[in-house]
Structure 1
């Protein structure tokens, strides 16, 4: 039975101006969930609520973790200190998370290896490629071994090789924790998701696995694959 769970009960966030996220009632367990939808669907709002940056208008969102409620968060546009080395930045993050001094070097080494950045330990962050910078962002989010890892549009702007490498890092990070990845890139879903939640205009219009999502495709929907056609079909039905 899963040890970690993220539960939403009738969760609503009303931003005014006509947009409202929810009401959402979801139970998310360990493994990798892709939160899919167009820009403005409510993905980033959900992440800010899950991270505690914003409070619900009504309803609840709560993390149950067996060894403490720990959160790792990579926002869509992380502000990394470009003049620092990868090692120094991660040592600072470890200090912020109150990892004991005698454990920090080992912890930094572990997360650099886990994100395939061991050979860039002493590199300045400004010298990293876009894909490496995103992997460093995941490393800082993992450094305190969180029960819940939130990755907001982590593959946006990356080339195909960088996206593949990052997806491998994300899949590895999903072992033994809840990982939620928001994306509007269809190709990310097949390579990552145990579960897919599709949002449109603040509402859940699909919740299931990839084969069930592909089963929603209609032959006349736009797209080159069943996955693309399924999302196009769902979006069309939601209009």
Structure 2
């Protein structure tokens, strides 16, 4: 049984210049949901709304605990923005201790929370390394670690694999899959290989509206043979996202 559910009910966010996200009505449960769409489709707007950084124009977005859920995890949320600012001079564990303090994790539990987050993201051997010495992939995994430090029910990862080389992307996808076993993880991405390697569910946005919501086989089934791409998944995504602007 799902422990938590992130529910959008008629969610709308209007911006100046005529752009509007929604209305969105979605129920998101445990596992990895990939949020896909061209630039300007509304992905980052959705993340800011979900993270509480912006308020919706109308509608609601709420995190509910499912009836009968057995986990003691609080209905908390972790967020990794697309361009996180990490303190270059701090060590990994110093930074995570600070984030744990920000999240009001009791002092007696901070060391175990830090070591647990480092272990989940395969950074235990870099605990005392300065952040400036980390590779791009390690720094992105540290970003995931800070989003996980308080053991949230929902993890929002905005374009986490952008700028990483293929090996780094694979390692990060493995980390994301591991932490999604018992929590809601929403990942925004432009990369077809991320969708194939991560997604239990795919939601495609175009012009602020949901144009597809389903799993990867269902998405492949919508492929237009005349759309650009080398695989059914690429052709399906390209067709749903429309012609490049």
TM-score range, shorter chain: over 0.9
1:67-86 deviation line (CA, Å, top 9, x unaligned): 43201000000001000000
Corresponding residue of 1:126:
132
The answer to whether the Cα contact below 8 Å between 1:205 and 1:238 also exists between their aligned partners in 2 is: no
Corresponding residue of 2:191:
185
CA distance in 2, matches of 1:229, 1:74: 29
CA distance in 1, matches of 2:29, 2:159: 20
CA distance in 1, matches of 2:99, 2:18: 38
Report the Cα offset of residue 236 of structure 1: 3.2
Report the Cα offset of residue 18 of structure 1: 1.4
Range with bigger deviation, 217-226 or 4-13: 217-226
CA distance in 1, matches of 2:192, 2:206: 15
1:104-129 deviation line (CA, Å, top 9, x unaligned): 11111111111010110100000001
Number of residue equivalences:
239
Unaligned runs of 5+ in 1: none
CA distance in 1, matches of 2:102, 2:194: 32
The answer to whether the Cα contact below 8 Å between 1:21 and 1:203 also exists between their aligned partners in 2 is: yes
CA distance in 1, matches of 2:52, 2:101: 21
Corresponding residue of 1:9:
9
1:25-174 matches, within 5 Å, as 25-65=25-65, 67-174=73-180
CA distance in 1, matches of 2:241, 2:144: 30
TM-score normalized by the length of structure 2: 0.95
1:156-210 deviation line (CA, Å, top 9, x unaligned): 0000000000000000110111100001111100100000000001000000000
SS at match of 1:17: helix
CA distance in 1, matches of 2:230, 2:162: 20
Unaligned runs of 5+ in 2: none
SS at match of 1:52: coil
Corresponding residue of 1:227:
233
The answer to whether the Cα contact below 8 Å between 1:198 and 1:206 also exists between their aligned partners in 2 is: yes
Report the Cα offset of residue 237 of structure 1: 8.6
The answer to whether the Cα contact below 8 Å between 2:77 and 2:155 also exists between their aligned partners in 1 is: yes
TM-score normalized by the length of structure 1: 0.97
